[in-house]
A and B are shown apart, each in its own frame.
Chain A
Amino acid sequence: MTLPEPIRPTRRHVLDLDDFTRHEIETLLDTAVGMKEILSREIAQVPTLRGVSVVNMFYEDSTRTRISFELAAKALSANVVNFAARGSSVEKGESLLDTMRTLQALGADILVLRHSYAGTAHLLAQHFRGAIINAGDGSHAHPTQALLDLFTLRDKLGTLERRHIVIVGDILHSRVARSNLWGLTAMGAHVTLCAPPTLLGNEQFWLDTWPDLRIVYSLDAALQDADAVIVLRLQRERQEAGLLPSLREYAQFFALSQARLQAALTGMLVLHPGPLNEGVEIAPDVAVSAQSVIEEQVTNGVAVRMALLYHLALHLRQKGA
C-alpha cells in the first residue's frame, strides 16, 4: 500500500472541516481507501503507529464514535486509553485544562475529544503540545463523522461534484450538519437543508456563511432531485423544550418514510449518523432498505479515523525527528 503524502504539512489538529481544502479532504479519503483494505485482511492490523499514545477523552456519552476511534487506533497498533467523564469539567471540580495537562505529562500524543460544549477542542488545541482530534463538540463540529459521510458518498456516487445532498432534521443543534456543510460544499456538492423553523433558526444566518445553500420546509420538495439524504437524529428533549408540538407531527412531515423513499429518485442513498430513533426521523424499513448505507457508514468510520490518525501521527513524528 502506498500512501500519499499529506497536502498540508502544517496540519496538526482536526478541529472542524472549515479549514480543510478540497485537496486535503481528497487525500484523506484516498488514504482511507487503503485503510479499508487493511481492515478487510485476515489479520486486520498493521504496526504503523506503534509507540503512539492515543487518549479518547469523552465528556459525553458515546458508543459508536469511541469504539470506532479505539478500533482505528488499535488497527494501527497505537496505544489507546479511554477516559470517560460525566458532565462538564466545572461540575467535576477539575478544569479541563488540568486534565489535559495531566494526560500530556503521562505521554499522550493524540487526544480525541468529545464534549458537550462548542469550542472545547479549540481550547485544548491552544494548549496541548500534541494533536487534537475533535470527536464532536456541542453543536459545533464533528469532522470525523462528516469525513466518513463524504467517504461513503464518494464511494457510492463516484464524485460529489454537483450532486444534490439533502440534510433533514434537527439542523440547528447538529454538529454533524455543520461539519457536513463545510465538507460537502468543499467537494462541490449542492446542499439542501430541511427542518421546521424551530430546528433551523434564522435562514439568513446560515446563508451568511454558506451562500449557496438551499433551505426548504417541505421534505417532499427537498427530496425531488436528491442523490442522497442525510437524516439527523431527533432528540426527544427538543419536543420537551417546546420546539415541536409533537413527535407524531414531526414524523408525519419530516421523517423519511417508505412513501417518500419511493417518490424520490431511484437509488437515492440514505445516510444517518446514528443512533437511530426508528419511527421518529426514519421508518424502520427505510433504515434497512437497499438504499440505506447506514451500516457501511459505521465500517467506513473506522477507515477514515485510521487515515486521520495516520496523517496526524506522521506530522508529529516529522516534527519530533
Chain B
Amino acid sequence: MRYLITHGMIIDPSQRVATIGHVLIENGKVARMYEMTDRLPDADQDLVIIDAHGCLITPGFTDLHVHLREPGEEHKETIATGTHAAARGGFTTICAMPNTRPAYDTPAVVRQVRQMARDASAVQVEVIGAATAGRQGRTLSEMANLVEAGCIAFSDDGSPISDPAVMRNALAYSRMLDVPIMSHCEDTRLNAGWAMHEGAVSMRLGLPGYPAAAEEVQIARDIHLAAMTGGHLHVCHVSTAGGVELIRHARQRGIRVTAEVSPHHLTLTDRWVLGTLDSPPSAAQGSLTQRLDQYSHVYAAGMQSMRQSADLPLPAWFNPTLLPPFDPSTRVSPPLRTEADVEALIAGLADGTLDAIATDHAPHALVDKQCEYGLAACGISGLETALGLVLTLVHRGALDMLNAIACLTEGPARVLKRTPSSLRIGTQADLVIIDPDQQWIVDVNQFVSKGKNSPLHGQRLKGRVMLTMVSGQIVYQEPGFGMTPRVTPVASRLEGILNTDDDDA
C-alpha cells in the first residue's frame, strides 16, 4: 500500500525542517516529499490519499519510560493494550520498564517479551533490563547477556538503588556496553511513608511529604558517581527545580548525564491534590455585614488557595477544581510538585538541560486507586494524554513547536544513542499526524489502555493525534480522519504556532 499525505505542515526536527507540503510513503519508507507547487503523482487504486490540511506531520514519537505490566500484572495492562495506547498517543517506539513479575532480568524473559511484542504490538517495543538481579539493588544483572538478548538500557525503576556502591558498579560496568543506566532518583529514607509532595498543600492536608530534597540528594549522588565512573547516567522523571539545576551544572562540566521529564510534571502541581472544597454558602443569604462575618478567616484562607490555583500560569482549560480533595488519581511517584518546579522543568526543556519528554505511563486497576490516598498505587496512565499536555505548553507559549516535537523524537533517540526517527527520504516511515488545534475532553473510559487512572478526566486539552504510522502501516487513525477533504485554510490555523524565527529552521 502507498500513502500520499497531503497539505500538512511537515515538522522534522532531525532535518530542522518546518514546511507545508505532501509526503509519499512507499514500501514502508518515506519515498518522497513534495512542495505545494510540485505535481503530485497520478492517482491509482493502490494509492491512498490522506488529507492532512491544518495538521502537522512529524516523525513518530519515542517514549523512554512505559510500564507495560506484562508479564505478571495483566489486569493492569498488557503488551497489546499498552502498545495500542502508545499508537493512539503518537508513539511509534516505546521502552518498557522492567518492574514486572518476573522482572526483565534474564535473557530468557527479555527474549520472550520481545517475541510477545512482535506478535501483539502495534508499535516498536524496546526492553529496558533490570539493573540488578530481581531489582533487589544488590547484585548486578547479567548486563552483557541482557544486551545480547536485546536490552537497550538498564533500570531498577520504582525501586531506587539505595546502595551507592551498587550504583557505582552499574555505571562502571555498563560503560563497556555503551548503554545508559536509567535512575529513578529517590532517597527512600527521606520520604518514608510519603503520600504527596512536601509543601504547603501537604502541610494543610496532613499528608506525609516527599520533599524535593529526597530526589535531589540522589540525583547529586548519581551525578558524582557518573563523573567518577564515566558511565552514562539517565535521570528518570525529574520533578524538581533543584534536580534540573544539578543536571544543568553537571552537563556544563561535561559529565555524561541525560534526563527526561513527564508531561504531568510539566503541567500539574500539588494543588491538584487539594482539589476543591464544597461549594461556598450562597451569597444570597443574609446582609452584607453578616456575609463578611461568615466569610471570616476560614473561608478567606480557603478562597485564597483557590485563587492561587486560578493564578497558575496555566491555560484556562486546566482546572484542578474538577477533582475532590485527596483524589488518588493525583498520586504519582515522584509526586506532583509546585508551580516553581513546573516553571523550572519547562525552562530545562527549553534550554536543552532535559533531553526528552517521557510519559512514565503507569496503568493501574480501579481497585488499586479507589482507596485511602496514602495506600493508592502511584502512577498516571499517560500515553494517550501526553501530546495534548505538551501541545498545551506550546499553545501557552512556554515551548516552541519544533522544540516540543524534538523532545518527543530526537531527544529520546539521543539518550539511546540512536538515529532519531525522521522524515528523511529513504527512512522507515514512522510518523504521526497531529491536529494541533483540536480541542477535546479527556474521558478515561475511552482510553485504549487498561489503566483509566488519570487526574485529567474531564479536562479540555488542545492538540490531538489523528493518525500514527509504523513502517508505513497505519497503526492508529481517528475515525474518518483524512479520508474526506479537510477545508480549513492552512495558513491561518498554523499562524503563531510555529516559531518561524528559529535560526536553524
Binary interface encoding of chain A residues 175-205 relative to chain B, with 1 for a CB under 8 A from any of its CBs, else 0 = 1001000110111100000000000011011
- Contact in complex: A22, B294 (CB < 8 Å): yes
Q: How far is the CA of A126 from the CA of B369 in the complex (A)?
A: 14
B53 CB to nearest chain A CB (Å): 44
Nearest residue (CB) in A for B192 is A241
Task: Indicate if A208 sits at the interface (CB-CB under 8 A).
Answer: yes
Task: Indicate if B373 sits at the interface (CB-CB under 8 A).
Answer: yes
> Which stretch, A63-71, A72-80, A117-125, A302-310, touches the partner chain B?
A117-125
With A18-B277, A119-B373 as contacts: A140 and B207 at CB distance below 8 Å? yes
A89 CB to nearest chain B CB (Å): 7
Task: Indicate if B116 sits at the interface (CB-CB under 8 A).
Answer: no
Task: Indicate if A90 sits at the interface (CB-CB under 8 A).
Answer: yes
- Contact in complex: B298, A182 (CB < 8 Å): yes
Task: Find residues 13-33 in chain A having any chain B CB closer than 8 Å to their own CB.
Answer: 17-24
Q: How far is the CA of A111 from the CA of B281 in the complex (A)?
A: 24
Give the residues in chain A near B286, CB-CB below 8 Å: 23
- Contact in complex: B277, A205 (CB < 8 Å): no
With A140-B207, A204-B200 as contacts: A21 and B375 at CB distance below 8 Å? no
Q: How far is the CA of A117 from the CA of B301 in the complex (A)?
A: 24
Q: How far is the CA of A99 from the CA of B148 in the complex (A)?
A: 51
Q: How far is the CA of A11 from the CA of B301 in the complex (A)?
A: 19
- Contact in complex: B375, A117 (CB < 8 Å): yes
Task: Find residues 83-120 in chain A having any chain B CB closer than 8 Å to their own CB.
Answer: 88-90, 95-97, 115, 117-120
Selected contact of A22 from candidates B199, B278, B298, CB within 8 Å: B298
Q: How far is the CA of A178 from the CA of B201 in the complex (A)?
A: 12
Task: Indicate if A262 sits at the interface (CB-CB under 8 A).
Answer: no
Selected contact of B298 from candidates A7, A8, A11, A186, CB within 8 Å: A186
Binary interface encoding of chain A residues 125-137 relative to chain B, with 1 for a CB under 8 A from any of its CBs, else 0 = 1100000000001
Q: How many of chain A's residues touch chain B, expressed as a range?
A: 35 or more
Nearest residue (CB) in B for A141 is B206
Selected contact of A118 from candidates B277, B328, B370, B374, CB within 8 Å: B374
Q: How far is the CA of A10 from the CA of B285 in the complex (A)?
A: 13
- Contact in complex: A95, B374 (CB < 8 Å): no
Report the interface size for chain B: residues with CB under 8 A from the other chain: 41
Q: How far is the CA of A202 from the CA of B197 in the complex (A)?
A: 13
Give the residues in chain A near B14, CB-CB below 8 Å: none
Selected contact of B206 from candidates A90, A138, A202, A211, CB within 8 Å: A138
Selected contact of B371 from candidates A21, A97, A118, CB within 8 Å: A97
Nearest residue (CB) in A for B300 is A185
A175 CB to nearest chain B CB (Å): 6
With A18-B298, A119-B205, A119-B325 as contacts: A89 and B372 at CB distance below 8 Å? yes
Q: How far is the CA of A146 from the CA of B486 in the complex (A)?
A: 62
Give the residues in chain A near B324, CB-CB below 8 Å: 122, 125-126
Selected contact of B295 from candidates A21, A88, A140, A204, CB within 8 Å: A21
A16 CB to nearest chain B CB (Å): 9
- Contact in complex: B294, A95 (CB < 8 Å): no
A127 CB to nearest chain B CB (Å): 9
Task: Find residues 271-308 in chain B having any chain A CB closer than 8 Å to their own CB.
Answer: 277-281, 285-286, 290, 293-299, 301-302, 305
Give the residues in chain B near A185, CB-CB below 8 Å: 296-298, 301
Q: How far is the CA of A21 from the CA of B324 in the complex (A)?
A: 20
Task: Indicate if B326 sits at the interface (CB-CB under 8 A).
Answer: yes
Task: Indicate if B203 sits at the interface (CB-CB under 8 A).
Answer: yes
With A117-B374, A118-B374 as contacts: A138 and B207 at CB distance below 8 Å? yes
Give the residues in chain B near A202, CB-CB below 8 Å: 198-199, 203
- Contact in complex: B206, A178 (CB < 8 Å): yes
Task: Indicate if B253 sits at the interface (CB-CB under 8 A).
Answer: no
Task: Indicate if A295 sits at the interface (CB-CB under 8 A).
Answer: no
Task: Find residues 193-223 in chain A having any chain B CB closer than 8 Å to their own CB.
Answer: 201-202, 204-206, 208-212
Nearest residue (CB) in B for A207 is B200
With A10-B278, A17-B298, A126-B324 as contacts: A88 and B375 at CB distance below 8 Å? yes
Q: How far is the CA of A205 from the CA of B305 in the complex (A)?
A: 12
A-B contact count (CB 8 A): 135
- Contact in complex: B203, A22 (CB < 8 Å): no
- Contact in complex: A21, B207 (CB < 8 Å): no
Q: How far is the CA of A23 from the CA of B295 in the complex (A)?
A: 9
Residue from B202, B278, B280 having most chain A Cβ neighbours under 10 A? B278
Give the residues in chain A near B204, CB-CB below 8 Å: 178, 208-209
- Contact in complex: B373, A23 (CB < 8 Å): no
Q: How far is the CA of A23 from the CA of B200 in the complex (A)?
A: 27
Task: Indicate if B340 sits at the interface (CB-CB under 8 A).
Answer: no
- Contact in complex: A118, B367 (CB < 8 Å): no
Q: How far is the CA of A272 from the CA of B2 in the complex (A)?
A: 79
Task: Find residues 363-418 in chain B having any chain A CB closer than 8 Å to their own CB.
Answer: 367, 370-375
- Contact in complex: B375, A22 (CB < 8 Å): no
Selected contact of A119 from candidates B207, B277, B370, CB within 8 Å: B207
Task: Indicate if B431 sits at the interface (CB-CB under 8 A).
Answer: no
Task: Indicate if B195 sits at the interface (CB-CB under 8 A).
Answer: yes
Give the residues in chain B near A96, CB-CB below 8 Å: 371-372
Selected contact of A209 from candidates B209, B301, B325, B371, CB within 8 Å: B301
- Contact in complex: B371, A90 (CB < 8 Å): yes
A138 CB to nearest chain B CB (Å): 6
- Contact in complex: A95, B206 (CB < 8 Å): no
Task: Find residues 201-226 in chain B having any chain A CB closer than 8 Å to their own CB.
Answer: 202-209
- Contact in complex: A7, B326 (CB < 8 Å): no
With A8-B281, A22-B293, A96-B371 as contacts: A118 and B298 at CB distance below 8 Å? no
Selected contact of A139 from candidates B206, B277, B371, CB within 8 Å: B206
Q: How far is the CA of A21 from the CA of B299 in the complex (A)?
A: 6
Give the residues in chain A near B373, CB-CB below 8 Å: 117-120, 123
With A18-B302, A138-B374, A141-B206 as contacts: A209 and B200 at CB distance below 8 Å? yes
- Contact in complex: B278, A208 (CB < 8 Å): no
Nearest residue (CB) in B for A206 is B203
- Contact in complex: A95, B370 (CB < 8 Å): yes
B408 CB to nearest chain A CB (Å): 35
Q: Which residues of A contact B (CB under 8 A)?
A: 7-8, 10-11, 17-24, 88-90, 95-97, 115, 117-120, 122-123, 125-126, 137-141, 173, 175, 178, 182-183, 185-188, 201-202, 204-206, 208-212
Since A201-B203, A205-B203 are in contact, a sample of 5 more A-B pairs with Cβ atoms closer than 8 Å, ordered by chain A residue number, is: A23-B286, A95-B371, A117-B373, A119-B373, A185-B297
Sample (27) of A-B pairs whose CB atoms are under 8 Å apart: A18-B301, A24-B281, A88-B375, A95-B370, A95-B371, A97-B371, A117-B372, A118-B205, A118-B326, A118-B374, A119-B373, A123-B326, A123-B373, A125-B324, A139-B206, A141-B206, A182-B298, A182-B301, A185-B298, A186-B296, A187-B296, A201-B203, A201-B209, A202-B198, A205-B200, A209-B204, A212-B297
Closest 5 CB pairs of A and B: A119-B326, A139-B206, A208-B200, A186-B298, A140-B206
